[in-house]
Amino acid sequence: MGGGPGTWERGNYGGLKGNGGDRKVRKLKMPIFEGDDAYGWIYKVERYFAVNGLTEEEKLSAAGLCLEGKALSWYQWRDQRRPIRSWGEFKDSLLERFQTDRGGDFYEQFFALVQEGSVAEYRERFEHLASRVERLSETVLEGNFMKGLKAEVRAAVKVLMPRDLGEAMKLAQLVENQKNLEKGARSSSSSGGTYRWTTTHLSTKGASTGGMKEVPKEKAT
């Protein structure tokens, strides 16, 4: 399909397309929805609407073209029974049908979240849930992230006094990395010669670290 008003393309991102020979614009295609991750699809499709400047009427028409599988079956059934009249109504109805985790559950999961595996895994889950809850201040977000960290990681990050959530996340990863290096050093020491390590402090400025410096291996005496 073309890219003019009232026409849309389904699927993934396209390439660059000339526009009257004067400039190039990115040609976007609408994401397909088959019934999974309703919040994620709505986020992507609303970005598409904003980039292309669609009207409310055009949003509804375009969204209906991007449904497949069980999502399309639902929309056909719903439209036959009681036609959807606006994008807002479409969005609410779609979330009610396909989003198994409701808003209240997301808040409950978010505030109960704790680190069980690595910092990277915890951060990924934190970001996923944080994207589903609304109207939380940066202070609340940072506090909840810190609260959920493993005790030893949280204590080390607090000492470094992160200035915001982003820095707290970076420092948590750096602290974990350093602790893993220390464990590796102890393991090497117990398996034969002795390693001496010099630990440099983690700097809060720019969330950087001097890391762990290995001193040449010395034989135990």
Per-residue pLDDT reduced to its tens digit, 149-202 = 999 999 999 999 999 999 999 999 999 999 999 988 877 766 655 444 444 455
Q: What is the pLDDT of residue 104?
A: 58
Q: What is the pLDDT of residue 5?
A: 41
Is the pLDDT reported for residue 15 higher than 90?
no
pLDDT in tens, 56-108: 999 999 999 999 999 999 999 999 999 999 999 999 999 889 876 655 588 88
Instruction: Kindly write down the DSSP assignment for every residue of the chain, as one continuous string.
Output: ---STT---BSS---EEEETTTEEEE---BPPBSSS-HHHHHHHHHHHHHHHT--HHHHHHHHHTTB-HHHHHHHHHHHHHS---SHHHHHHHHHHHH-SS-HHHHHHHHHH----S-HHHHHHHHHHHHTT--S--HHHHHHHHHHHS-HHHHHHHHHT--SSHHHHHHHHHHHHHHHHHHHHHHHHHHTSSEEEEEEPPEETGGGEE--EEEEEEE---
Residue 31 is classified by DSSP as P
Give the end-to-end CA distance of the chain in Å, rounded to a whole number.
77
Q: What is the pLDDT of residue 89?
A: 94
Q: What is the pLDDT of residue 211?
A: 47
Q: What is the pLDDT of residue 27?
A: 62
Query: pTM here?
Result: 0.56
Q: What is the pLDDT of residue 172?
A: 98
pLDDT in tens, 123-135: 999 998 998 887 8
Q: What is the mean pLDDT of residues 12-33?
A: 54
